[in-house]
Chains A and B, each alone.
Chain A
Amino acid sequence: GDSVTQMEGPVTLSEEAFLTINCTYTATGYPSLFWYVQYPGEGLQLLLKATKADDKGSNKGFEATYRKETTSFHLEKGSVQVSDSAVYFCALSQEGGKLIFGQGTELSVKP
């Protein structure tokens, strides 16, 4: 069945460092891909999405490109801030709108 695999956390970075969180997927068909973020004590928020191959989703300095050839959707940010500390979830959508999530990657940014 469809699945999403993310790099294990926690990831600890210094402020202004470059961030990459790897995400690969297995799916039949052509799912939409998402990154969600969960700040401490809050619900999930959609960070960005891409709906077809080679699409790039971007928001708040974060980017991810839908790579069909490598079945990947890696999340990147050029310069992280302390306020980016959160848990990041990669997900794909199945028919009917169901989401399949990766296991989540905890990011901790130190000043």
Chain B
Amino acid sequence: GAVVSQHPSRVICKSGTSVKIECRSLDFQATTMFWYRQFPKQSLMLMATSNEGSKATYEQGVEKDKFLINHASLTLSTLTVTSAHPEDSSFYICSASLREGADTQYFGPGTRLTVL
């Protein structure tokens, strides 16, 4: 149980285009979803926290106009990287928790974004 999927697993795009990444909780309803960014050989950095039906809360230093997060249902959150540039190339990982404030998160397999 508690499976989280991400789509696509890998995407390559040209500079200036926008890319949407989906995160789905497959067998549970996720009140809260989190988006992380992971650089090679480094840790996960939290980008934002989203609760279903409300605006995402972004971490300091994360541009909310560049990384658009939508959490329209209890099983789906999307991250859109707008006007992507090569420096946005990274591994993006989502996670979901069963309820707000719960301390256990279930992680998706990640999406590798490469911006040319």
Name A's B-contacting residues (CB within 8 A). Answer: 32, 34, 36, 42-46, 49, 51, 89, 93, 95-104
Name B's A-contacting residues (CB within 8 A). Answer: 4, 6, 32, 34, 41-44, 46, 49, 93, 95, 97, 100-110
Within the assembled complex, what's the spacing in Å between the Cα atoms of A99 and B97?
Answer: 11
Contact partner of A45 (CB less than 8 A), chosen from B32, B44, B49, B107, is B107
Residue contact B102 to A97, C-beta cutoff 8 Å: yes
Given A97-B34, A97-B103, 5 further pairs, Cβ under 8 A: A43-B107, A95-B101, A97-B105, A99-B46, A101-B43
Residue contact B101 to A96, C-beta cutoff 8 Å: yes
Residue contact B46 to A98, C-beta cutoff 8 Å: yes
A49-B104, A51-B103, A97-B97 known; A42-B109 Cβ under 8 A: yes
Residue contact B44 to A93, C-beta cutoff 8 Å: no
Residue contact B43 to A97, C-beta cutoff 8 Å: no
Give the residue name and chain of the B residue nearest to A46 (CB): B104
A-B interface, 4 closest residue pairs, ranked by CB to CB distance from nearest = A43-B109, A44-B107, A93-B103, A43-B107
Contact partner of B43 (CB less than 8 A), chosen from A42, A49, A95, A102, is A102
Q: List 14 A-B contacts (CB under 8 A).
A: A43-B6, A44-B95, A45-B107, A46-B105, A46-B106, A89-B44, A97-B100, A97-B101, A97-B102, A97-B103, A98-B34, A99-B95, A101-B44, A103-B43
A95-B101, A97-B101, A99-B105 known; A43-B93 Cβ under 8 A: yes
Residue contact A89 to B43, C-beta cutoff 8 Å: yes
Among B6, B32, B102, B103, residue most surrounded by chain A Cβ atoms (within 10 Å): B103
B residues within 8 A CB of A103? 42-43
Among B49, B107, B109, residue most surrounded by chain A Cβ atoms (within 10 Å): B107
A residues within 8 A CB of B105? 46, 97, 99
CB distance from A46 to the nearest CB of B (A): 6
CB distance from B93 to the nearest CB of A (A): 6
CB distance from B3 to the nearest CB of A (A): 10
Among A34, A96, A100, A103, residue most surrounded by chain B Cβ atoms (within 10 Å): A96
A residues within 8 A CB of B34? 97-99
